[in-house]
Structures are given as C-alpha cells and as structure tokens.
Amino acid sequence: LAPWTVSDQKIPQGRLALVSYAAVFFVVLLLVGFWKLEVVQSDHFADLAEKNQVRSIPIIAPRGAMLDREGRVLVDSYPSFSILLLRDNAKQDPKSLELIEEGLGIDKSDLEGQLEAARFEPKFEPIIIKPAASEADIAFVESHRADLPMLDLMMVQRRRYPHGQMLASAIGYVGEVSQPDIDKYPDRFRPGDIVGKAGLEREYDQQIEGTDGMRRVVVNSVGKVMRTLDDVEAIPGKPIQLTIDEDLQEVAEADFDKDGGKAGGLIAMDARTGEVLAMVSRPTFDPNDFAVRIPPKEWAALNSDPQTPLLNRAIQAQLAPGSVFKVVEAVAMLESKAIPANFTAYCPGSATFYGHLYHCDHAHGEIDLHRAIVASCDVYFYNVGKMLGIDRIGQYATGLGLGQRTGIDLPGEEPGLIPSEAWDERVYHHKWYPGDTISVAIGQGPITATPVQLARMIAAVANGGTLIAPHLLKDETDLKTGSFPISDDTVQQVTDALWGVVNEPEGTTSGTVKLQNVDFAGKTGTAQTESFALQAKLGKHVKENGWFIGIAPRRNPEIVVAALVQGAGWGSSVAPIVRDVVKAYYDKKEGHFQPPPPPQTAGAPAVPPSAAVVAPSSDLVASVGTGAQHP
Amino acid sequence: MKERPRTQDFDWTLLAIVGAISTIGLLEIYSSTHASGMAGMQWKQSMWIGIGIIGMFLISRIDYHTLLDQAPVLYVFGIVSLLVVLVMGLSRLGAKRWIPLFGGFDLQVSEIMKLIIIIVLARYLSEVHTDRLTLQDLAKIALITLVPVGLILKQPDLGTAMVLVPVAVVGAFLAGIEWKHAAIGLLALAIMIPIAWGMRNHLKPYQQQRIQTFLHPEEDQRGAGYQILQSEIAVGSGGFWGKGFGKGSQNQLGFVPVRYSDFILASLAEEQGFIGICVVLLLYLGLILRLVDNAQKAKDKAGMYVVMGVTAIVGFHVLVNSAMVIGFMPVTGIPLPLMSYGGSAISFVFLSLGLVMNVRMRRFVN
C-alpha cells in the first residue's frame, strides 16, 4: 500500500450524493432547453428549415411572337444561354481565370472587376459573365465541366428581331423593367423582368408576356441544387398578328434606304379599315441591340442622337403639313359655301396681305380650285384662307381629325396642332395675327400634323367623311371611327383634283409617278422648317420637308399612304416612295408582286439562327435576375 | 476477499450504457455522412472505439495506486509535452494542438493532459489528511491546474483548457472545501467576469468573435452565429418525434456545422426529435450516476478522486456540448463524449473509463 493512502479513508458519501443531484438538475435543465426548441418553438424552426433548403427559381416564359398579316414572323423569342460564374467554391484558382479568358474571350481584368464588385453579395448567387453565349461558348463550358466547375449555363428567353431595323420604330424594344413600373404593379413585375419598353412591345406587353413558371428546388448549405421538388411550367406568351404586310413594308423600307438613306416616316393603311400595312421611320435602331443588354454608352448615344432614332416619325413627327393642308382648305371652302365653288384668283407669283409679301412657286395667272390643287397655287389658297378665317379653317381641320391623336395602338402618339384665335390668346396672350391665317392656309406657320393624321384626313376626304381608326393589331375589334360627312359633290371635285396632281401635265408630280391601270391620286406638300426671315438671317438655305399623301382609287380608296422625307426639298421627290408602295399593293392584289432587291447596306445585324442553340445538361435555370449585374 | 483483480469485476452496467451511447453515435455519424463525400466515417469511428476498448483493458490492469505513485513524473511529462506542442506542434486552423506520431496519426496532447490532471489531483487530494481544505491547499490545487490550462489556452484551445477546471472544482468540493472559501471563490468569479469582459480586446480574434457571436447570433449570418442559428433550426425543426433517420434536411444538406462531430446532437435532435434527445440525455445521466456510484463504492479516497475526476470531465463535456447545440453557450469546440466523431476524444473517454474499471475491480482487493 502506498504510504499516502494510509490516512482517513472515509468516503464523503453526502457530497457525492450532492454531485448526483447536480447531474440530475443539469440534465433536467437541458431537457427543458430542448423542449423549448423542439416542442414550443418547433413550428417557427420548421419554417426556417424550409426556407433554408427550398429555393424558388422562376422559369421565364418566352414572349409571344409578332406575325404579319399573312402569318410571317416579324418578331419571336428563342432560348439563349448566359454563362454564369459560381462563387460558392471557395478556391478560385487564378489559372482558371486565364482559361476562361482564353476560352470565352472575356478580359481577365473585367472578370476580376466583376468578382470584386460582387464581393459582398451572397456567395451562392452567381455572376453573369457572358449574357448571350455563342454556340462555341456553350461548347466550351460543356467540355470543361470537370476542370472549370465554377462555370455554368443559365437559360433565358431572348427576343429576336430577324429583320433587324425593319419596322423597328413600330415594334419598339424590350428591356429590364424599371423601378417605377415594379412599384406600380408589384404583382406583375419582379426586378430583372424583361418587359416591352416601347412600341408594340410595350402596347401589347400584357398579351405577349406569358406567365412565368416556377421551379422549387432543394439546395444544400452552399446553394447547390440537389433536386427538384416541383415544376410549374411557364406558359409562353400568345403570338399577336399584326396588320402589317411584310412585302409592302420591305418596299417602303428599301425606298427609304436608297441613295444613302433618307430621314422621315411613312404610314400605309387600308383606307377602308384603318389597318396599317406598313410603317417606317428613319433613322431608326436595331431592337436586337436591346434584347441582350444594351451597354449604357450605346443607350446614351441613341438617346442623345440629334437624329432621334428612337422617335417613331409616322406618329410622333409633328411638322407643318405644307401644301397637303390645301386639301382641308378646299373642303372647307366647298362645304362651308362661304366661297362660291367657281371662285377664281389671279396669281402673279406672289401677293401682299396685311402689308407683307407672300410668295408662290409660279405665276399661275387666272386660276380656279381644280388647277390650284393640281398645281398647288399658294396665292389662290392665301385668298381662300383669308376669306374663311382661322376659326373656320380650324373647324374643318379638326373635323377631319387634325390636331388630335388618331388613337393608333402605339404608345407616344403626338397630337399635332391646329391653331385658333382662342388658342393663340391662351398660349401667347395676344390677339391672333391675321397674317398667320395666310400662312396656315398653305400649311405653314403655327400648324403641325403627323403622317398618320394626314393619311387619315385624305382617306376621309376621299370616302365622304369617315375617319378610320388606324391600328396595327389584326383582330382589333374596339375601333373608334369618326364621322365628318362631306357631300359627294365636294368629294368628287377634290379627289378629281388629287388625281390631277398625279396624272395631269400641270400636276406637281409632273407625271412622274403615274401608275398604269391604277386610279392613283395624291397631294404633294413642301414645308419650310424655318421662316424665310430666319433663313435670310442664317444666310443659308435649309432644305424643306417633303410630303406626299397618296390614295388609290381616288374615290372610296382601298389604300392610303402618307410619306414624309425631312430635308427632301420638293414634295414631288417623296411621291415615288408612295407610288412604289401603292404599286406593290396592286401587284400583290393581281398576283405579280416582285419583292425589292435586298438592301445593299452592309452591316446587317447578325441574328442568331433559331435552331443553332445546343441544349446544356445544366439544371440551373435563371436563378438570378440580371438586375444586379448592371455596371 | 479476493486475491487479485479480475475482469469479471468490470462495471458491465456502465459498459452497457457506454455501448448504447456509442451505437447511437455511430448510427448518427452514418446518417449524417452516408450521402456525402465523407461516407464511411462510422467505420473509422468503430475502429477508434475498438482501439479505445483495448486501451481501457490495458489501463485497468495497472493498479491505480501505481499510477498515482508516478503522478509527479506524469505531470512533468504532460507539461513538457504541452511545451513541445507549442514549440514544434502541427498547426491546423490557426491552432497548434497536435504532435505527429507514426503511421500518419497525430496526437492531441491536451487529451492526454486530461488523464494526467485526473491522476495528479487525485494524488494531491488524497494526501490531504483532514476533511477541511486550507487556503494553502486550495492555492496548490489552483496552481497544479492552471499551469496546464494556461499552456493549452496558448495553443489556443479554449474548450479543452476549460475542461480541466471542473476536475479541480469537483475535487476541491469532495475534499471538503470550506463554505466561506467556496463563497469567496464564487464572488471572485462574479467579479472576474466583468473584468474579463473589459479585457476582451486582448483575446484572440477567434475568441472575440465567438463571444460576439454568442451574444448576437443574428448579426453574422454566414459566420459562427450562423452555426448556432443552423444548429437551433435543426433542433427546433425536429419537433417531438423527429424527421426520421437520414431525413433531417438541416443535417443532410449540410446546414448543421460539423454535423458528425461537435454538433452531432443537433443532427440527432433533428432526425430523432425530442424523444431521441430524452433517450440520449437520460443515458448520459445514467452514465454519470453510475460513475458516482463507482466513486461511492471505491476502496479508498484516491480511487474516489480518480473516478470523480473522470465524472467531472465527462459531465462537463456533455453539459457544455448540449448547451451549445441549443444556443445556451458559445461555440467552444467541446465534443460530445462517445458520440462525436474523433479519435482523440474517443480514446480519452475509453482510457478514462479504464481508470474507472481499474478502481472498481480493486475495491475488494487487499
């Protein structure tokens, strides 16, 4: 026995028992703790556990296509892949960045910048390093799954505009939903949603947007998808059929692109129904540029371009109608009977009113209404305007739909302006200058109109006063037409004169746009963009805007085409564009339409072919919005 | 009266409880890791248990009086080993705790120190002749304990350092600490805590963070607070009956931190529910009570102190680990005895049980 064990060997039984009680006490305490979590608060924690592991991933619905009146595709959607860089893998080998740089052609410093910018985002949220992957990019990712596991593909639905700039101003473009829109419709939009931003994309956004699906997946603690719980498939957006005729559209576009391109706009409509057959605006843009993600620099350039490529001139260009307005004048003169129908004037090439000298193109001599329209005599209409007075002119102009929106199914239509004495006093706080009436009489001065308004006006004059409702959606039923009855006699006199413009030797088109077997009529217009006084001051001659509004046949027309070419000089140079569209319409009707030769302009946008996308094996679909990725 | 100690005199009831706890531990390790890249861990753990059992038999053969005779040598050996670790140990995760051994195994020296402190304090306390501890005795006990505590803190390993303290506290209590000394000690502790709080800026960053995390778990979602929160979610979502074997989402999807080791009780709580926790905690209570029973039946005070030293360490581990899992205590890295995966921890438990058997089988031997 060891010497140190010989002392008092009484075991302290009481104190040992106390230790036992302490053990029981602590175990009971722990059980209470577990009871509190597992029984009292178990619902709360079950909820948290669910939130931990289940993540909802939206499946983006493809937007509906846009078809022309014959079912040809003008706009559609295609699945495209964005390349993601996953960041939940802690080890980022600098060598793999080099590999990525080489394989995907992304600058390494760009990648590092993106990684740095996302440093404080949750690690399981990947960053998009390439929004629109090419076929080669997808192949690269697929073949490097093993050595570059941080790369993944995300499927997104992207908008495709196979014809590039064609009809772009009417179609509009898509983009990421804006914060105000999210605030306004919190149920409809989520951040990062792609929505229609302009044109038809915006107007019919709700019809074509479809319903996004939802995939619920189980993720592990580092955010990796382990399995799918359930899938609610996306419902693709419905296609919409437009009234546009692709053939006519191409003809019109080709004419605007000829000879280095023209600025301006065109609208062709079925003059009986208001169906828009073609709509052009120049300069324009390529909506494909917006479909991926438009770089801020490009967007700023488009927005600040003095040529305003984002403007749809067919409905937004508010310009002086020039001599086209003489048609309104003629109707006012004949219908109001304030002036006898056989009124004649003497045109020596200019005339003086209220102490000012007003010009005319020619000295037309003794001239009546028919010749005054055919040859577009200003002096005749100065006199008519003076006799009618501004308010009576305004009454007829307004009746024929000028100075107000036509209600076409596109956002941002402009109303134009028809002045009156009351308007002048309200806006400028002075009495109407009678001299302005003389200017307005020939469509100059404080009067503006848009191409779509002028097309509808001429169509109304030719059909006896029915104001058609311009529209682009084929099966639009809710059409608001207007009525401003015009007597047959007036219709006959005015439309005969319009026929003369095209077909008589004295007509302002000099017979250059005659069409065989087509009852083609129309009116030219030439509008100064600055006053003669200002031009004199600037010491240079700014070219006038040219107009031509054509109809066929001259009475109860089937087609009406309004064209505007800015800086065209004389309106007669615009007439061939209108003629080509009208001719194409009749050629199609008679079955011998020849499509125009393809445009010579190089640099047509490279549009990805629909069947060229390889399906990736990845399960990860659209788990991030593109919202956070903006620079 | 028997002539020599026999293996039949092992505490088979105690070993049955140990077997039950170890088996539950193995099953939960399997459940936590079978679907991951760590599959098969339960076999490694079984191997550790086997080695532990062999160690238990070996240590039970050496008379504990012989071991206590060598207490000063063992103590010096332990202190030197801790110094060696500090100077040339293996660094992992910012802590020097291991000495490399043959065959790729690394020895965590502080686990050995636990056994040594049990023996050294048992020796010292059994030399106290009265049932009253003087202040001088208390100071010596404190010194004996705090030297290795300081060295282990230096590694740094706050958890293992803390574990040595209850051996001294329980020992002093059994040796007859005077109530006024105990009161003064508690008072000193009450004063120390705010002072220590004031000194917290001198702590290692990881220690600061753990304290910060304990006090405000919600502020650090992906850090250490995240661990406590995920553990609580696992426990709470288990409910009364549990989600079923291998079906705990927090466990299977890796939300529970080190789910097969320090937080294995959270995995168990999630999959087996409050019922499972009751079974396990009552088994641990049975283990502790059985250990105290062995202490009560020890032949001499030395044997009692040895058994109660083991009881103090095992009990402290269970208490601190369970409290951490439910967010009552900060994360200290103290494993759950017999259940948490880990060779050093398993070896320690079985070797200390060997000491208990050692005392038990000699209670009738002269």
- Chain B residues near residue A13 by CB distance under 8 angstroms: 296
Say if residue A604's pLDDT is above 50. no
- The pLDDT assigned to A627 comes to 33
Continuous segment of H or E residues that includes residue A59: strand A54-59
- Let me know how long chain B is: 366
- The pLDDT assigned to B219 comes to 47
In this prediction, residue A81 has a pLDDT band, given cuts at 50, 70 and 90, of: confident
- Chain A residues near residue B170 by CB distance under 8 angstroms: 19
Q: What integer best gives the mean pLDDT of chain A?
A: 84
Distance CA A380, CA A382 (A): 6
Q: Which residue has the higher pLDDT, A224 or A458?
A: A458
Across the interface, of B130, B278, B328, the residue whose CB is closest to A31 is: B278
Alpha-carbon gap: B87 to the closest alpha carbon of chain A (Å): 30
Label residues B255-270 b or e (16+ Cβ within 10 Å = b).
Answer: bbbbbbbbbbbbbbbb
- Chain B residues near residue A221 by CB distance under 8 angstroms: 230, 253-255
Instruction: State how far the alpha carbon of A631 is from the alpha carbons of A113, A125, A128, A626, in Å.
Output: 10, 17, 12, 11
Q: Dihedral (C-alpha) B9, B10, B12, B14: value to the nearest 10 degrees?
A: 130
Nearest to residue B362, comparing CAs of B120, B60, B52, B53?
B60
Nearest to residue A236, comparing CAs of A58, A57, A59, A61?
A61
Please compute the mean of the pLDDT values over residues A7-30 and round it to a whole number.
90
pTM of the model: 0.67
- Let me know how long chain A is: 631
Alpha-carbon gap: B320 to the closest alpha carbon of chain A (Å): 10
The 3-state DSSP composition of chain B as helix, strand, coil percent (nearest 5) reads 70, 5, 25
Cβ of A222 under 8 Å from any chain B Cβ? yes
Cβ of B218 under 8 Å from any chain A Cβ? no
Alpha-carbon gap: A613 to the closest alpha carbon of chain B (Å): 34
Give the range with max mean pLDDT: A580-584, B124-128, B160-164.
A580-584
Which burial class, exposed, middle or buried, applies to A511 when counting CB atoms under 10 A from its CB (0-12, 13-18, 19+)?
exposed
Distance CA A403, CA A411 (A): 17
- Chain A residues near residue B123 by CB distance under 8 angstroms: 4
Q: Which residue of A has its CA nearest to B318?
A: A27
Distance CA A535, CA A519 (A): 39
Contacts of residue A337, defined as CB under 8 A and 6 or more positions apart, other chains included, come to none
Say if residue A345's pLDDT is above 80. yes
- The pLDDT assigned to A628 comes to 33
Cβ of A30 under 8 Å from any chain B Cβ? yes
Q: Which residue has the higher pLDDT, A312 or A126?
A: A312
Distance CA A440, CA A448 (A): 10
Under a CB-based contact definition with an 8 Å cutoff, are residues B228 and B213 in contact? yes
- The pLDDT assigned to A1 comes to 53
Say if residue A91's pLDDT is above 70. no
Tell me the per-residue pLDDT of A421-432, one tens digit each, with 9 for 90 and over.
Answer: 888 888 888 888
Q: Which residue has the higher pLDDT, A97 or B232?
A: B232
- The pLDDT assigned to B45 comes to 94
In this prediction, residue B258 has a pLDDT band, given cuts at 50, 70 and 90, of: confident
Nearest to residue B112, comparing CAs of B92, B155, B82, B87?
B82
- Chain A residues near residue B69 by CB distance under 8 angstroms: 2
- Cis omega before residue A596 (within 30°)? no
Label residues B67-100 b or e (16+ Cβ within 10 Å = b).
Answer: bbbebeebbeebeebbeebeeebeeeeebbbbbe
Cβ of B72 under 8 Å from any chain A Cβ? no
Across the interface, of A5, A12, A23, the residue whose CB is closest to B289 is: A23
Centroid of chain to Cα A418? 27
Half-sphere exposure of B155 (CA within 13 A, CB side): 29
Please compute the mean of the pLDDT values over residues B179-206 and round it to a whole number.
77
Tell me the per-residue pLDDT of A354-373, one tens digit each, with 9 for 90 and over.
Answer: 988 998 988 999 999 999 99
In this prediction, residue B229 has a pLDDT band, given cuts at 50, 70 and 90, of: confident
With pLDDT > 90 as the criterion, what percentage of chain A qualifies? 47
Alpha-carbon gap: B366 to the closest alpha carbon of chain A (Å): 9
In this prediction, residue A5 has a pLDDT band, given cuts at 50, 70 and 90, of: low
Say if residue B143's pLDDT is above 50. yes
Tell me the per-residue pLDDT of B259-302, one tens digit each, with 9 for 90 and over.
Answer: 898 999 999 999 999 999 999 999 999 999 999 999 999 988 99
Q: What is the ipTM of this complex?
A: 0.92
Alpha-carbon gap: B17 to the closest alpha carbon of chain A (Å): 16
In this prediction, residue A58 has a pLDDT band, given cuts at 50, 70 and 90, of: confident
- Chain B residues near residue A46 by CB distance under 8 angstroms: 236-237, 239
Under a CB-based contact definition with an 8 Å cutoff, are residues A133 and A154 in contact? no
- Chain A residues near residue B281 by CB distance under 8 angstroms: 27, 30-31, 34
In this prediction, residue A129 has a pLDDT band, given cuts at 50, 70 and 90, of: confident
Give contacts of A 602-631 with B, CB under 8 A: none
Say if residue B218's pLDDT is above 50. no
Alpha-carbon gap: B185 to the closest alpha carbon of chain A (Å): 18
Say if residue A529's pLDDT is above 90. no
A and B: number of Cβ contacts within 8 A: 156
Cβ of A8 under 8 Å from any chain B Cβ? yes
